[in-house]
């Protein structure tokens, strides 16, 4: 597939309007001193970054995709990951769907650095852990009415289904820590 069919312009066309001393001119074939110096500066900066551990080569997207799926199960969606990493939504969407099979190492590091703590308040997660905490509190002889009142519920019953919002799960965890400490 040629460049224009992919919406890209040829290198010579891109470099034509650039001043000498621009790496793009060097890549298009100019070998004047200024363009060689620009290319040399770029390569030196790349070498320094590699030595500092900031290698940014191409890696398989498998780890990032698996991590995104794991985060999704814990209530962290694509948009929350994007907000935490400043990675474009389209890139994250392509990684998650499998359309993007290779990504830059820096992108992978950013995605793998996202934790479930960035979940939005209204994200839906499994209520299993929340129900375990409530059961432990009931075993400690706290009444359901007492717990419901402390959680700020209007009625005296705790009714959790299979799924719960991140906000409600956090409220139950705070109450558990408060009562059990």
Q: What is the pLDDT, as a whole number, of residue 159?
A: 86
- pLDDT tens digits, residue range 23-36? 999 999 999 999 99
Q: What is the pLDDT, as a whole number, of residue 139?
A: 94
- pLDDT tens digits, residue range 93-112? 999 999 999 999 999 999 99
- pLDDT tens digits, residue range 42-78? 999 989 988 888 888 899 999 999 999 999 988 888 9
- Among all chains, which residue has been given the structure tokens 């290779």? 102
- pLDDT tens digits, residue range 119-136? 777 888 889 999 999 999
Confidence bin at 14 (pLDDT 50/70/90): confident
Residues 79-86, mean pLDDT to the nearest whole number: 90
Confidence bin at 3 (pLDDT 50/70/90): low
Q: Are 147 and 175 spatial neighbours (Cβ–Cβ below 8 Å)?
A: yes
Query: Which residues on adjacent β-strands are paired with residue 104?
Result: 58
pLDDT, greater one: 3 or 74: 74
| Cα gap 63→120, rounded to integer Å | 23
């Amino acid at each position: 597939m040629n460049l224009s069919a992919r919406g890209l312009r040829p290198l010579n066309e891109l470099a034509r309007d650039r001043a000498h001393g621009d790496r793009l001119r060097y890549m298009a074939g100019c070998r004047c001193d200024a363009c060689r110096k620009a290319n040399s500066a770029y390569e030196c900066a790349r070498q320094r970054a590699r030595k500092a551990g900031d290698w940014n080569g191409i890696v398989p997207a498998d780890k990032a995709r698996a991590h995104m799926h794991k985060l999704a199960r814990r209530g962290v969606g694509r948009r929350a990951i994007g907000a935490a990493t400043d990675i474009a939504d389209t890139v994250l969407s392509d990684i998650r769907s499998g359309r993007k099979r290779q990504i830059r190492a820096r992108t992978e590091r950013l995605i793998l650095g996202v934790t479930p703590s960035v979940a939005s308040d209204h994200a839906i997660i499994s209520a299993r852990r929340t129900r375990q905490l409530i059961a432990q509190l009931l075993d400690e002889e706290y009444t359901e009415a007492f717990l419901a009142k402390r959680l700020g519920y209007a009625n005296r019953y705790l009714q959790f289904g299979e799924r719960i919002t991140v906000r409600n799960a956090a409220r139950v965890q705070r109450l558990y820590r408060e009562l059990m400490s």
